[in-house]
């Protein structure tokens, strides 16, 4: 395949034009050089484009085939198509002026007749990435291996009952981890798309959890062996495609990491739509990860309130997004993480420009939400309300209850001696929700 000179209808990178602009090919809120809480907006948000949804998904659904008909999706030479796709990808990265992108190995290169051939295909495209990254500002946020699409992984990879599948998955991860390291990637993500079970009737839970823990340790050990300085991330997801997954949510993954002795080595990549599928809010999962010391990065998207599956839509709700970024600010912001758009245009959005406009609008939503979150954080009223609610715990006698050496006997004696008769106090939820909404601009 010969790629067109340009795939997209514009040739200049999108610029900030201000809130009054109605030019769709400009940013209304994302002003990358604007300083927010001492850092440039670009440094706060660290946007990334997801290779899989933007360039690999054909627009199909369970009831109909592809709708996008992208020129790099059809032809007889799979590697030529992959090279053309890489050209279009960096064209979009440059138009959006994003600092990062993310990929699975199967997004960027076709699977070969053997693992050796598949890995060679991935490495060949990675070499193209390396050359393009010499002249593009866009770097690699993270890479990952697709251990879920091929039928060999229908019963998982790390947790598969067949040890040969475990070995194959480990070899595939080795290749992508090394490529991520060579490309200067800032993270490596493990997403166990099928690490779970469909029925307990054919499942040995302890054995599978042991296998998963060892697999994770193998990845961390290899990270240190090759000198990869980035962060290993796990992305929680409760279900779909597997009925029940071992990486259900932040708390479940933390338990898994503790069981494997990796709670100090591995952090989490948290997706908005996965959080809601687990019955949580996005901000809950971010806050929980921060509280447990394992917050790393996010996949930014949203689900459909009327659908019970992972629709991966671009974010449009400023209030919800602001609450998420408020928790990120409270956690100290990103280190190696970023805001990866794990989102896809709708299957009826078939024009090339739809890809640009979807990302640009989402970047504006995030930028606007960041400004709201920064106001929340800088004003401090929300935090003061929390501090006030827990102020009683600052008293020495109450701190003593939590210290080693305290006992139920001593606590009970104090209650009797001081004739304690605590009464409930309002949580002020509605007042605080109204305060949070007041920061919207």
Residue 117 is assigned to a ligand binding site: no
Q: Do the annotations mark residue 53 as ligand-binding?
A: no
Given a contact cutoff of 8 angstroms between Cβ atoms, the answer to whether 326 and 285 are in contact is no
Question: 379 a known binding residue?
Answer: no
Per the annotation, the verdict on 94 as an active-site residue is no
Residue 164 annotated as lining a ligand binding site: no
- β pairing state of 244-245 and 196-197: antiparallel
Query: Is residue 107 annotated as part of the catalytic site, yes or no?
Result: yes
Partner residues linked to 50 by β-bridges? 102
Work out whether the CA dihedral 206, 210, 213, 215 comes out positive or negative: negative
Selecting among 104, 181, 280, 359, the annotated active-site residue is: 104
What is the C-alpha to C-alpha distance for residues 251 and 292, in angstroms, rounded to an integer? 8
Angle at 71 (CA atoms; ends 65, 72), nearest 5 degrees: 90
Query: In whole angstroms, what separates CA 145 from the centre of its chain?
Result: 15
What 8-state DSSP symbol labels residue 315?
Answer: P
299 labeled binding residue: yes
67, with CB counted inside 10 A (0-12, 13-18, 19+), is middle
3-state SS assignment for residue 266: strand
The reply, when asked if residue 310 is annotated as ligand binding, is yes
Q: What distance in Å separates the CA atoms of residue 31 and residue 39, rounded to the nearest whole number? A: 12
Distance of alpha carbon 13 from alpha carbon 97, whole angstroms: 6
DSSP-based three-state secondary structure for 141 = strand
* Strands 35-36 and 39-40, bridge-based pairing: antiparallel
For residue 192 the two structure tokens come to: 């166990």
Closest CA to 379 of 299, 307, 438: 438
Collapsed DSSP state (helix, strand, coil) of residue 190: strand
430 annotated to bind ligand: no
Q: Is 261 helix (H, G, I), strand (E, B) or coil?
A: coil
Active-site residue identified among 94, 107, 364, 375:
107
Distances from the Cα of 221 to the Cα of 210, 214, 262, 265, 437, angstroms: 16, 10, 11, 10, 46
The string of DSSP letters for 38-81 reads TEEHHHHH-EEEEHIIIII--S-BTTB------GGGSSS-HHHH
Show the CA angle centred on residue 282, arms to residues 267 and 377, nearest 5°: 90
What is d(CA 147, CA 383) in angstroms, rounded to the nearest whole number? 42
Our separate counts of H helices and E strands in the chain read 16, 14
Annotated binding site: 235, 271, 274, 299, 310, 312, 342
Annotated binding site for Mg(2+): 235, 271, 274, 299, 310, 312, 342
Give catalytic residue positions: 104, 107
């Amino acid at each position: 395949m010969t790629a067109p000179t340009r795939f997209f209808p514009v040739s200049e990178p999108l610029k900030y034009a201000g809130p009054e602009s109605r030019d769709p090919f400009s940013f209304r809120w994302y002003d990358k050089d604007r300083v927010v809480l001492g850092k440039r907006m670009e440094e706060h948000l660290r946007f990334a484009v997801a290779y899989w949804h933007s360039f690999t998904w054909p627009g199909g659904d369970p009831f109909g085939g592809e709708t996008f008909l992208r020129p790099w999706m059809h032809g007889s030479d799979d590697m030529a198509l992959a090279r053309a796709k890489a050209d279009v990808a960096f064209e979009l990265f440059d138009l959006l002026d994003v600092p990062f992108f993310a990929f699975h190995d199967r997004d960027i290169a076709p699977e070969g007749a053997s693992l050796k051939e598949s890995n060679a295909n991935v490495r060949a495209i990675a070499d193209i990435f390396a050359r393009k990254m010499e002249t593009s500002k866009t770097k690699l946020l993270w890479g990952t291996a697709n251990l879920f699409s091929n039928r060999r992984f229908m019963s998982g990879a790390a947790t598969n009952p067949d040890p040969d599948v475990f070995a194959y998955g480990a070899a595939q991860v080795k290749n992508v981890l090394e490529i991520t390291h060579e490309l200067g990637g800032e993270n490596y993500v493990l997403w166990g798309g099928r690490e779970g079970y469909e029925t307990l009737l054919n499942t040995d839970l302890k054995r599978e959890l042991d296998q998963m823990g060892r697999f994770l340790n193998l990845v961390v050990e290899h990270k240190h062996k090759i000198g990869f300085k980035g962060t290993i991330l796990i992305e929680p997801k409760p279900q779909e495609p597997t009925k029940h997954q071992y990486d259900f949510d932040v708390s479940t993954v933390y338990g898994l990491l503790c069981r494997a002795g990796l709670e100090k080595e591995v952090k989490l990549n948290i997706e908005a739509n996965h959080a809601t599928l687990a019955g949580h809010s996005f901000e809950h999962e971010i806050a929980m990860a921060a509280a447990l010391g394992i917050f790393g990065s996010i996949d930014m998207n949203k689900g459909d309130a009327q659908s019970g599956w992972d629709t991966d839509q671009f974010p449009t709700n400023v209030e919800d997004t602001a609450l998420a970024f408020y928790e990120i600010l409270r956690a100290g912001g990103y280190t190696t993480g970023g805001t990866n758009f794990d989102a896809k245009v709708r299957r009826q959005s078939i024009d090339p420009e739809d890809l640009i406009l979807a990302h640009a609008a989402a970047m504006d939503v995030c930028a606007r939400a960041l400004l709201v979150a920064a106001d929340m954080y800088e004003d401090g009223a929300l935090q003061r309300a929390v501090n006030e609610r827990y102020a009683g715990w600052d008293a020495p006698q109450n701190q003593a209850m939590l210290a080693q050496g305290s006992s139920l006997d001593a606590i009970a004696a104090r209650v009797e001696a001081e004739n304690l008769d605590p009464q409930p106090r309002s949580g002020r939820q509605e007042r605080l929700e109204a305060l949070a909404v007041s920061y919207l601009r």
